[in-house]
Amino acid sequence: MLKLPIYMDNHATTPVDPRVLEAMLPYFTERFGNAASRNHAFGWQAEEAVEAARKQVADLIGATAKEIVFTSGATESDNLAIKGAALMYREKGNHLITVVTEHKAVIDTCKHLEKDGFVVTYLPVMRDGLVDLDALRAAITDKTILISIMAANNEVGVVQPVAEIGRIARERGVLFHTDAVQAAGKVPFDVNAMNVDMASLSAHKMYGPKGVGALYVRRRNPRVLLAPIIDGGGHERGMRSGTLNVPGIVGFGKAAALCREELATESARLTALRNRLADGLRGRLDEIVINGSMEHRLPGNLNISFAYVEGESLLMGISDVAVSSGSACTSATLEPSYVLKAMGIGDDMAHSSIRFGLGRFNTEEEVDFVVEKLSSVVARLREMSPLYELAKEGGKLLKMAD
């Protein structure tokens, strides 16, 4: 039985899996100890649970437990990785490389460092959203200390060639950080196979709770050192002080374990579901454009521009379906998506874009409902659109159909 509203915004956040919640609950009440309390059973119990979760998170990405630093979320992880490495390795160089389509947690952290005297190269992306590896190679100088490139993009779901980037970074002796928030648990991701030195993770993007994340920090070949950005009791081997969020970490561990167990079957299921959505819409509507590479893409992501229709009005017409738009009207800045812009997609098509994020709890029935609903709303709004009328008349505003 179809239940409304339908949630298809799983890049923004995911619901907590009931199995995750079940694992967490005891740690709010009877097992409430502080993992740093060394002198009694309450503390030991909490510490044991945290260490088990640390192993589960490490296993998801091919790391060892000691390489996992728990944080409050991926924004903090990105800050710790980039600021921590920049400050620690400042004497070695002052140059960082990142990409224009990064999450703001990376871009704004880099901008902050620029004010402190660091020099940052923001690499462009190609039309399909992928970074140009030759441009990356060319950008590396003897002053480069860190490359930060996301594993998968949160808007268009484009999966970057992480292994190739890692190889280039390793060859040139530059540290490589990747924001793997959208990729980990969704596509194969292994820090050793990919030569990743630091990776940001978030629990709530993988059916865990909000408010907990992790930074993978490589301990061997090379050992990565970070200057902490939060001072205090020296938790997490001095890299992140603060009492550990034990229930959150337990949930994160369980969520990571479930993602690992189900990755192969779930990614196949989501890819089929995503293709059903794309094919359904393409079968019913003309002049729709998929933004970003279909080949190098997260299984659950679809980002489509519906030419001649403005995104916010489209969202209004499908109010029982939760998705996102790259339209300016839906953002705080009143600017259309900077990610789509960086890919060379015009502001007009960015205004017309919708991001679908399919997840673990979406069904074929829901996809079919969304296809029908969206197609009828797009058709209605196009009848109301002067741009569609002009285009049909062969008018002058045809650059929409890019």
Quote the CA–CA distance of 370 and 135 in Å, as a whole number.
Answer: 40
Complex with another protein: residue 262 or 389, whichever CB lies closer: 389
Please list every residue from 295 through 314 that binds another protein, using CB under 8 A: 308-310, 312-313
* Backbone dihedral region for residue 33 (phi beyond 0: left; psi -120 to 50: alpha; all else: beta): beta
Closest CA to 245 of 13, 37, 22, 72: 72
Q: Which two tokens stand for residue 181?
A: 């928030």
386 contacts another protein (rule: CB under 8 A): yes
384 contacts another protein (rule: CB under 8 A): yes
Q: How many residues bind another protein (CB under 8 A)?
A: 26
Stretch that binds another protein, among 55-63, 99-107, 248-256, 345-353 (CB under 8 A): 345-353
Burial of 19 (0-12, 13-18, 19+ CB in 10 A): middle
368 contacts another protein (rule: CB under 8 A): no
E strand or H helix that includes residue 264:
helix 246-284
Contact with another protein (CB under 8 A) among 231, 286, 295, 383? 383
Complex with another protein: residue 62 or 317, whichever CB lies closer: 317
Please list every residue from 231 through 260 that binds another protein, using CB under 8 A: none
Stretch that binds another protein, among 91-99, 265-273, 344-352, 363-371 (CB under 8 A): 344-352
Complex with another protein: residue 230 or 390, whichever CB lies closer: 390
CB atoms inside a 10 Å sphere around CB 268: 11
Q: Which two tokens stand for residue 86?
A: 């920049």
Q: How far is the CB of 104 from another protein (least distance, A)?
A: 20
Instruction: Name the strands in the sheet holding 301-306, side by side, starting at the edge strand that comes first in the sequence.
Output: 288-290, 301-306, 353-357, 324-325
Q: How far is the CB of 332 from another protein (least distance, A)?
A: 9
Q: Which of 87, 119, 133, 329 is catalytic?
A: 329
Binding mask 112-131 toward another protein (x if CB under 8 A, else -) reads: --------------------
Q: Which two tokens stand for residue 225?
A: 């050192």
Quote the CA–CA distance of 165 and 191 in Å, as a whole number.
Answer: 12
Q: How far is the CB of 312 from another protein (least distance, A)?
A: 4
Is residue 92 within 8 Å of 231, Cβ to Cβ? no
Contact with another protein (CB under 8 A) among 40, 316, 361, 364? 316
329 contacts another protein (rule: CB under 8 A): yes
Dihedral sign computed on CA atoms, order 103, 357, 191, 203: positive
387 contacts another protein (rule: CB under 8 A): yes
Contact with another protein (CB under 8 A) among 51, 132, 262, 347? 347
Stretch that binds another protein, among 12-20, 270-278, 323-331, 354-362 (CB under 8 A): 323-331
Contact with another protein (CB under 8 A) among 346, 375, 376, 379? 346
Q: Is 329 a catalytic residue?
A: yes
Complex with another protein: residue 226 or 342, whichever CB lies closer: 342
Length of the chain, in residues: 402
Burial of 230 (0-12, 13-18, 19+ CB in 10 A): middle
142 contacts another protein (rule: CB under 8 A): no
Stretch that binds another protein, among 50-58, 77-85, 294-302, 326-334 (CB under 8 A): 326-334
CA distances from 102 to 69, 90, 99, 182, 290 (A): 22, 23, 6, 12, 20
Complex with another protein: residue 45 or 385, whichever CB lies closer: 385
The three-state secondary structure class of 370 is helix
Q: ∠215-155-57 over CA atoms, to 5°?
A: 25
Quote the CA–CA distance of 203 and 173 in Å, as a whole number.
Answer: 30
Complex with another protein: residue 76 or 310, whichever CB lies closer: 310
Complex with another protein: residue 67 or 348, whichever CB lies closer: 348
Positions in the binding site for another protein (CB under 8 A)? 308-310, 312-313, 316-317, 327-330, 334, 336, 346-348, 351, 383-389, 397, 400
What residues act catalytically? 329
